[in-house]
Amino acid sequence: MNHHTPHPSSLAGHPAADARFAQRRALLAAAAAGVLGASLPLHTTRAASPLQTKARIVIAGAGAAGLTTAAHLAQRLDGARITLIDARKPHFYQPGFTLVGAGLKPSSYVVSATADYVPRGVELIEANVAEFDPDAQRVTTDAGQAITYDFLVVATGMQLEYGLIQGMDTDLIGQHGIGSIYHGPAAAQATWQALSEFADRGGRGVFLRPDTEMKCAGAPLKYTFIAADHLTRRGTRGKAELTYNSNNQALFSVPIVSEKVRMLFGERGVHIRYGRVLTAIDPGRRIATFKTADGLEEQDYDFIHVIPPMRAPQAIRNSPLPWSADAQPAWAAEGWMEVDRGTLRHTRYPNVFGVGDIAGVPKGKTAASVKWQVPVAVDHLVAQIQGTTSDALYTGYTSCPLITRLGRAMLVEFDYNNNLMPSFPGVIAPLEELWTTWVMKTMALKPTYISMLRGRA
């Protein structure tokens, strides 16, 4: 998260934002009273009656952000022609990948079907968008189908670029001590096998994060903590040396969280190396090569958790939608969409919105971000159809149940300004390792996520 750029406008103290947090706290308190809290904040945005319209709305991408957008639009509009475009039939509950990789859940835990969440009245085209032409208000699929729109919501997600690490191939995941939970459910399962073998023997464990924006920036840290705990439980911690390689000079983009993680790594005996970016891997010799300020550095490993560079899909990078190199050089290079960080509306194309991982905003590319971005973007879109304006504002709120050992996690919630935004101040301390937070992560998060996809949370 080294590309965060300060934004001139501050969202703190905005009436809409304050009201929303008050609502969130009230409802989360209610959830806590019901034994189970929900770490994704809950609220609904529903109009009294759906707005009549003939608007043609295209949603590119049917992952968490696309499906949630479709659900909200279907609830708020009547008569609109809403088209979801995505080729992938299975839906992945990505926040569960860490639990699969930790050996706690089977890979089936994170797999369902996209079609199960497509709202009634919304058309799903099983293809990918190959070309975005926002000037002509048209997208073209890889099957050659051109679709014109009045409004476009881009929710394509991102691309994992394993190929940018020399010698790395996704087929290697689960072999030669190589793991990578990000690649998908099967890879997360294979990563668990590799970690389990490592935990039996001990040796040298190497962990890292990429030098790009990434989804769930807490996951590299979580997986390091999980590995340390498995080694401890199997009595092999003394035979293992764990190293976490950070791409920059911090462990997490929020300084106070970064410091807490540094302290925990110190307690658990995890060595930290700053300013290391994985550039190559030699599976045969089990050597990882990192770029550092002083040149290349080789680290041998018995287990390595590879997290690849991430960037926008090619169709977005080839379109006029990303940030320009003048305004945001790093985001331009990775192709993230140029959207207003408070409204998620494209800065140059007012009928285009970007939500989820593809949005070029600071902070979280997480399910919690989706939860809070989508109602804001949809509110602005609906207001535009109505010819009015909306004061809905996304403050950058996101959350991360940061697992620090099996059975405990820290509920880290924050916003664009690096402020901690605890939902239960004084009850669930954000930097405290708690079983309660772990219970939320393992029990309440998935049902909350699925409710979000259905537009009910």
Partner 1 sequence: MKDIDITVLFAVFYEMLGPLLWILVVAILAGTLAFGLLLVRERGLHPARLVRMQFLGLLGGAAALWLMARVSSSGFTDAGGPVDWLLIALVFVLGWVGTSVILYTLVGWLGGRLRCCPQAG
Residue ranges that bind partner 1, judged by CB under 8 A: 19-20, 23, 26-27, 30-31, 34-36, 38, 42-48, 99, 104-105, 406-408, 424, 427-429, 432-436, 438-439, 442-444, 446-448, 450-451, 454, 456-457
Nearest CB to partner 1, comparing residues 413 and 433: 433
SS3 labels along 348-401 = CCCCEEECHHHECCCCCCCHHHHHHHHHHHHHHHHHHHHCCCCCCCCCCCEEEE
**Pairing between strand 151-154 and 277-282?**
unpaired
* Nearer Cβ to partner 1 (20/237): 20
- Decide whether 269 or 447 has the Cβ nearer to partner 1: 447
DSSP string, 131-158: EEETTTTEEEETTS-EEE-SEEEE----
Cβ distance to partner 1 smaller for residue 341 or 446: 446
What dihedral angle (degrees, nearest 10) is formed by the CA atoms of 390, 55, 64, 453? Answer: 80
Instruction: Provide, rounded to whole angstroms, the least separation between the CB of residue 137 and partner 1.
Output: 29
Distance in Å, CB of 446 to partner 1, minimum: 8
CA distances from residue 216 to 25, 86, 196, 248, 372 in whole angstroms, order as listed: 23, 22, 23, 17, 15
| Residue among 41, 42, 98, 94 at smallest CA distance from 63 | 94
Evaluate the CA torsion angle 310, 316, 322, 325 in order and state its sign.
Answer: positive
123 vs 130: CA distance, rounded Å: 18
* φ/ψ (deg, to 5) at 318: -85, -5
**Of 190, 254, 266, whose CA–CA distance to 228 is shortest?**
266
What is d(CA 376, CA 359) in angstroms, rounded to the nearest whole number?
Answer: 13
CB within 8 Å of 232: residues ≥ 6 apart: none
Nearer to partner 1, 140 or 451 (CB): 451
Q: State the minimum distance, in angstroms, from the CB of residue 408 to partner 1.
A: 5
Specify the residue, 145 or 386, whose C-beta has the smaller distance to partner 1.
386
Q: Which is nearer to partner 1, 292 or 451 (CB)?
A: 451
Q: Minimum distance from CB of 455 to partner 1 (Å)?
A: 9
**Residue whose C-alpha is closest to residue 224's, from 238, 203, 205, 237:** 205
- Smallest separation (angstroms) from partner 1 to the CB of 449: 8
- Closer residue to partner 1, CB minimum distance, 164 or 429: 429
Query: Closer to partner 1 at the Cβ: 27 or 130?
Result: 27
Minimal distance, residue 42 CB to partner 1, in Å: 5
User: How near is the Cβ of 192 to partner 1 at its closest, in Å?
Assistant: 13
Cβ proximity to partner 1, 47 vs 136, nearer residue: 47
SS3 212: coil
CB of 129 to partner 1, least distance (A): 30
- Cα distances from 93 to residues 357, 363, 367, in angstroms, run 14, 20, 9
Contact yes or no for 69/152 (Cβ under 8 A): no
- Residue type at 238 in one-letter notation: G
* Residue 120 beta carbon to partner 1: minimum distance, rounded to whole angstroms: 16
Cβ 329 to partner 1, closest distance in Å? 37
Q: How far apart are CA 441 and CA 356, in angstroms?
A: 20
